[in-house]
Amino acid sequence: MKPRQRKALITIAGVWILTATLLLIATNAFAQDRPGQGNVYNQLQVFVEVLQKLKQNYVTDLSDEELIEEAIKGMLRSTDPHTTYFTRDEFQDFTTSTKGSFGGLGIQIDKIGDYITVVSPIEGTPAYRMGITAGDRIIKVDGESIVGVTTDESIKKMRGKVGSTVVITISRPGIPEPIDFTIIRENIKIKSVPYSFKLENGVGYLRISQFNENTTSELRTALGALEDEGIRGLIIDLRFNPGGLLDQAVDTVNEFIGHNKLVVETRGRTRNDALYTRYKSKERNYPIVVLVNEASASASEIFAGSLQDWDKGLVMGKNTFGKGSVQQLFPLSNGNGVKVTTSYYYIKSGRCIHKMSNDKLLTGKEVSDSDLKQEDEKNHDQVYHTENGREVYGGGGISPDIEVENDLLSRFGVELRRNNSFFNFAVDYLVDHNHQVSLSPQITPALMDEFLAYVRSQDISYTPADLDSTRSFIENSIKSELVRKVHGDQEAYKITISQDKQLQQAIDLFDKHSSLEEMFIYAESQKKQR
């Protein structure tokens, strides 16, 4: 027998062994099926036939393992964007982000259509300092296109040895040409509560950036410190919080609503579960405002919606993202795993958090503006009630009690951040001034002229109109960056948020209303005026 004939026979034999195995699996899997489900068996037979024809007739040799793996991935792609097939290494990377630290750039990403898209930069990280922002599409890593590449593969390309350099190319809405960012990788330590301090009006401010395994302990520490200072109210900032661990969301809610209270139910095809608070906690009677926006997702939506449902906090900002599906990881016999969407979240009032159009958008399917409007109207036609009988709406995310628009940054401001102008100028300035700067430095005309000269030296052009519309942002950013270098991130953050429109309206709410009940009455009056 000739070698080519022998190879062909071996290949065909391999296909028939694989065919027999798949048919045996199919027979075992569907032998107990109900009447009418035999079609699954028939379709699996067709799949085996296609595999057989490929192996016998394709122009080059094909790997059984690769063919089956791609078939599995294709099958999962027909479900939703969160149902995923993992190799061992991919699963390890997937679980790393919940452990509190990892090496990389400092961005939360998701795949929207063919594009790896920035959901949120993590505060205090290289990407955050460079001005990477939510909505940026990452199209290349070190010159190699990642359009169409999976989220997990993209993460692998962006992560690397601490201290090494990576160039990412982004496409930003409103900017015609791609933009390159050269970023030095750092060991990313994720602090769940990066900022907490008492504001000038006596109200506490606390930011939760995500829900990882340290969130509850960090929250308790921050709350204790703020309450020792005698705060008269609390603002909890969940904007750009992409979520995280469900148990941490439940335990943080526990801190405000007490023991044995329903937080969320997961309802699926095979089982339903109800999650209740587990611990006795300190009674907190001061008014609480929870800030959210379109990038607040998953566990952060459970937190915000639960405080709203139990009438323990007023939600303010923009309608949240609407990621309310639950995934479960199943190990496979080859050591890999599959993450499967098994249920949806329903918070205490009965609202389903999940926004169904997100699944279509995240898988690259087209959703028209009219479809989105129709879905939004349908969600707001569904009226639910809080513990004390207030009307709330669902699902499709959490609707705020008081809606406040986001700030918009001018194109000149975007360009300054993209070029890291404030960071680099502050470094040079402080070298020339012996790293001496007060907690509230004055941006004098001379200092502004010095900064603008630096901007021009970097070939960044602007018009007088650009400068007029961006001057306040520039002055605030210079001040913040100078303070950061000398006094640390938190003092710099206090300066940054001094021009935060949504936060300032939340602060004003405490100055006008002394109790949560008064805030609820005001919120209801605002809704009637819409």
Q: Is the pLDDT of residue 504 over 60?
A: yes
Integer angstrom CA distances of residue 343 from 86, 242, 459? 20, 19, 53
Beta-carbon count within 10 A of 368 CB: 9
b/e burial code for range 114-132 (CB count within 10 A of at least 16 → b): ebbbbbbbbbbbbbbbbbb
- Rounded to 5°, angle at Cα 391 from 507 and 387: 85
CA distance 313 to 289: 5
Round to whole Å and give the CA distance between 208 and 211.
8
CA dihedral in degrees (241, 242, 248, 253; nearest 10)?
50
Q: Determine contact, residues 288/233, Cβ cutoff 8 Å.
A: yes
- Render 449-489 in DSSP notation, one character per residue: HHHHHHHHHTT----HHHHHHHHHHHHHHHHHHHHHHHH-H
Using left for φ > 0, alpha for ψ between -120 and 50, and beta otherwise, residue 306 falls in alpha
Model confidence over 409-454: pLDDT tens digits?
888 998 898 887 888 888 788 878 877 888 889 999 999 999 999 9
pLDDT digits (tens, 9 = 90+) for 180-206: 999 999 887 778 999 999 999 999 999
What mean pLDDT comes out for the span 217-232? 97
Choices 3.90.226.10, 3.40.140.10, 3.30.1330.10, 2.40.50.140: CATH for 195-406 = 3.90.226.10
What is the structure's pLDDT at 134?
67
| CB-count exposure of residue 234 (10 Å: 0-12, 13-18, 19+) | buried
pLDDT tens digits for range 33-70: 455 455 788 888 888 899 889 989 999 998 888 888 88
Using only the alpha carbons of the chain, give its radius of gyration. Answer: 27
The span from the CA of 305 to the CA of 522, in Å, is 19
pTM higher than the cut 0.85: no
d(CA 43, CA 36): 13
Is residue 298 among the annotated active site residues? yes
Per-domain boundaries in the chain: 3-62, 101-189, 195-406, 411-499
Candidates 97, 196, 298, 357; catalytic one: 298
Quickly tell me which residue has 């930069």 as its tokens.
Answer: 121
Q: Which of 80, 136, 237, 309 is catalytic?
A: 309
CA gap 104, 126 in Å, rounded: 9
Cα 510 to Cα 2: distance, rounded to the nearest angstrom: 87
CA-to-CA distance for 206 and 221, rounded, in angstroms? 11
Average of per-residue pLDDT across 121-138: 81
CA angle 353-385-290, nearest 5°?
A: 60
Strand 383-385 and strand 101-104: the pairing is unpaired
Active site residue 323: yes
Mean pLDDT of 163-178: 88
pLDDT tens digits, 95-113: 554 455 556 898 878 787 7
Q: What percent of the chain has pLDDT over 70?
A: 89
List the one residue out of 339, 348, 302 whose CA is nearest residue 324: 302
Which position has the token pair 């809405």? 173
Which of the four pLDDT bands, split at 50, 70 and 90, describes residue 13?
A: very low
Distance CA 453, CA 92 (A): 48
Q: Kindly report the CATH number that applies to the domain delimited by 101-189.
A: 2.30.42.10
How far lies 313's CA from each of 237, 316, 352, 370, in Å? 12, 10, 19, 33
Element (H, E) at 119: strand 115-121
* 96 vs 313, more confident: 313
For residue 415, the 8-state DSSP code is H
Give residue 179's pLDDT band: very low, low, confident or very high (50, 70, 90).
very high
**Is there a catalytic annotation at residue 156?**
no
